[in-house]
Every structure is written in structure tokens, then in C-alpha cells.
Structure 1
Amino acid sequence: MMASNTSIPTEKETQNWVKAILALNVTKDGLTKWVETELNKVQKTIGEGCGNCFIENLLACPTPGMCKRSSWKNCDFHLSKRPKKCKICDRVKQNIISLHRFKRPSWKYTQAERWGTEPWEIGKCYLPDEGYSRISSVEELDLNGVMSILLNCKHFETCLSTSSLSSPMPNKPCLLEKVM
């Protein structure tokens, strides 16, 4: 019998899980508008692209995680677009790299031709490489996506300080500081 091998959570455990899920959703919803506002500032800091370049034009072949060679000449990623140099968009690309905590942005989902008009396209560079292909706004992200942007984009370091998280009691450290 399957039920005898399965542990059924108690009502209290179930309530705690429901509360945890609700807390995560409230946290994500609370951060969303702020992250959108800050991504507008990131876009102004990074600069605006020319609007004519595609990401395929800005990345050299081979680009780790992007290029898959189907023949000795071309990879599938660069097959339809001819790489060219655009000083404006290359500067934006370099600025995105410099603001990335690990200097390895995800180019997988961003559309460089929209860098000048949609701050979200720059925000996508700070997401993980997998799992966000169909996301079209910060509002559609899950909490992990929002947290990835906060952790990977160094701009957010200037928005939060450990002193604002510290406990007023000098001998009792803030739990958030222990996590960081």
C-alpha cells in the first residue's frame, strides 16, 4: 500500500509550508518594482546601444555557452548574422561585463538591439543561463531570478549596505550579515 510508505505532513507542517510560500511570493512582489526602477538606473550607467546590432554581432565566435559548431566554418549561433564591430554597442557590452560580479554575463536571452529602449534587456544579462527563456519582464521572474539579478549585478551593492541591516544592539549581529 503506497500510503503506508509515504509520510503525510502534519497540519502544522503544512501551515508552515504555506506560510513560507506566501512569504517568498510577498518578498518577490515587493522587490519587483524596485528592481525595475534600479534597472533603469543601470541602463543609464551602462549606456544605450545603437539599436541596430544583434548580440550575435557583438560576440566573438566561439563564445562559451552560445556557439555550437555545425560545420568547420560556422556555428549555429553566428550562422545567420555576420559579426561586426560597433563601438557604441561594444562599449555597452563591456560595461555589462564590468558590472557583472563574476564577469560572465548571460548573453543567451538578451536582445542587444533593445538595450537602448528596454532596461529589461540589460537585466537579462544578470540571469542564470538556464530557465528564463520565456520571461519577458521582471514581474514574470520567480524569486530566484530576482535574487540572481541582485547578486550578479554589482549596481545593487550600492543600493544596500550592511549598516542598514545591522541590529541596533552592538553585541548581537544581524542574521542577514551572517548569510552575506
Structure 2
Amino acid sequence: MADYKDIIRKPETLGWFKAAMAMKITRDCLLDIVKQATHELYDKIRKVIKIKDGIQEDVVCSQCNTPKVLPCDANNKCCNYGTCEFHTIHKQQSCPKANLCNAICREIVANHRFRNRSKKQSFKGPTWVNTDACKWCNDPWQIAKCYLSKEGYTDVNLAEDIDFNGIVYVIYNCEFFQAYLKDNLDRSRNVCTKARDVGREVRHAPSNSMTSQESDRAIDTLVALLQNLKHVNHQFAAKTAVDMLTQKNKTES
């Protein structure tokens, strides 16, 4: 056990722990914002559907599952050429509530940042295997799950259970969140892609160790993300989180 005590005391271990705690603070701040914005996204989708399809906002459905409302297409990332396991049991059909769920499906695609990638590129549209369409009308988090990575999030059915990278994926992949940030998320390098890289660096750090320079750089990136939030009602929470991150840097440097 003495070896482990020595490892814990190493500056590189403390540097990694400091960056990991900074991710936790940032994640907790962004979680509340994402939960609120996810409800606003659903409201926006329903308003768009009312205009486009004439479906009133009080019409809801809980009968459709995802394969029923999703066209069978290999570009969907869950369908395959030939025999499609995703549509083996449930075939595509129209939602009994005036095609409501089909329309929601369409708008989920419309809000995905990578919906228009060329066929020569790897399609990175909504991750349908993560979501359950029968819950779209009463649990907007199921819509947010369409903007997560394919790996590791299928069973994350509560927003509170999402990790740091998952939150960043939702913000980055769903264009609706552009309204919450000053930075242009269409650029290849932006506050979200930089924060995503920090998450990967911390998660995959060899032996859970980071130099002070690496941890300081990670924290600076997270601070930049929080300071990029532009809605007034989010800035107080972001400032509180930034103060915690900067204070942690001062006291543990």
C-alpha cells in the first residue's frame, strides 16, 4: 500500500485529480443549462411542426417506437444494407397521431449539425439507437440523446446520469445550442471541440497523471467554455463555476 500512497502524493497525480475535479464542476454547471435547453428545444420543435404540418402543440403520442418512425436507410447508422436488424420486428409506418412522431423525427435531423454531410463522408447524423420515440412527447431528454455518441449512452435515461463528454456532445451536435454560446460552433476548432478533447485527455491520461502545465491548460479550456455562455440567466451559474475553477488552480498550484 505504501506504493499507492506515494502515487497519490505525486504532483502528476494531483494534477490529474485537479483537472478531473474541474471537469466535474463544469459538468454540473452545464447540466442544469442543458436540461432547461432540452425542454426549450422540444417546445421549438413543436412550434415548427405546428407551422409546417398543422399539428397542434397539445397533441401527444406514446405509441410509436423509434424503428416505426425512422426510415430504413443505411445512413441512419443503425440500419444496414440487406437485412436490417433495426427494422426486423418493427417496420416503418406513420404515427397514428397525424404523423406527429414522424415530424419530430424530421426535426431532430434538421437540428443535427452534421445532417448534410456528403455521402463520401462518414454520416454522423442523429444516433437513433440511443432514443425511444414513444417518450419524445413526455421526456425531452430522449430527444437530446439523439445528439450523443453511439457508444456508451444507450442506457443513460436520465440527464443527471450523463458524463462531461456526453453534455459536450449534446451542445456541439445539436445546432439549437448555438444560441447559448458566443463562439461559432461550425468552426472545426471551437470551445466545444476543445472541451471534448480535454475530456478525452483526462479520461485517457496514462496512470491518471498530468503535469501542472497540462492540468492548467485543461482548466483554462473549461473556463473558456463557461465564459462563452451568453444568456444572462446562465452567466451567474457559469461565473460561480469559473470562480471555483480559478480558485482551485490558485490553492493547488
Task: Give the TM-score taking structure 1 as reference length.
Answer: 0.78
1:109 and 2:130 matched = yes
Deviates more, 1:56-65 or 1:145-154: 56-65
C-alpha change, 1:162 and 1:62, in structure 2 (3 Å) is closer
The superposition leaves residues 39-93 of structure 1 with CA deviations (integer Å, 9 ceiling, x where unpaired) of 0001111127522211111122244421257xx6x52211211221232112111
C-alpha distance 155-62 of structure 1, shift in aligned 2 (>3 A): closer
Alpha-carbon separation, structure 1, partners of 2:84 and 2:17: 47
The correspondence for 1:140, drawn from 154, 161, 186, is: 161
Residue from 171, 176, 181 that aligns with 1:150? 171
RMSD: 2.6
Task: Please list every run of 5 or more consecutive structure 2 residues that lacks an aligned counterpart in the other structure.
Answer: 47-56, 116-124, 185-219, 229-253
Name the CA distance, whole Å, in 2 between partners of 1:9 and 1:40.
42
**Maintained 8 Å contact 2:130/2:145:** yes
The equivalences for 1:48-87 within 5 A come to 50-64=61-75, 65-68=77-80, 74-86=83-95, 87=99
Q: How many residues align?
A: 159
Assess, with a 3 A threshold, how the Cα gap between structure 1 residues 56 and 162 changes in structure 2: closer, same or farther: closer
> Which AA in structure 2 matches 1:53?
C
For the 8 Å contact 2:131–2:145, the answer to whether it is kept is yes
Q: TM-score w.r.t. structure 2 length? A: 0.57
1:39 correspondence with 2:38: yes
- Give the superposition deviation at 1:142: 1.1
For the residues of structure 2 that align with 1:37 and 1:9, how far apart are their CA atoms?
Answer: 38
Q: Distance in 1 between matches of 2:61 and 2:110?
A: 19
Q: Which residues of structure 1 form unaligned runs of 5+?
A: 164-173
Per the alignment, residue 17 of structure 1 pairs with: 16
Sequence identity percentage: 31
Structure (1/2) with the larger helix percentage: 2
Q: Which deviates more from structure 2 when the two are superposed, residues 27-36 or residues 46-55?
A: 46-55
Residue 10 (structure 1) shift: 7.0
Q: 84-93 vs 59-68, which deviates more?
A: 59-68
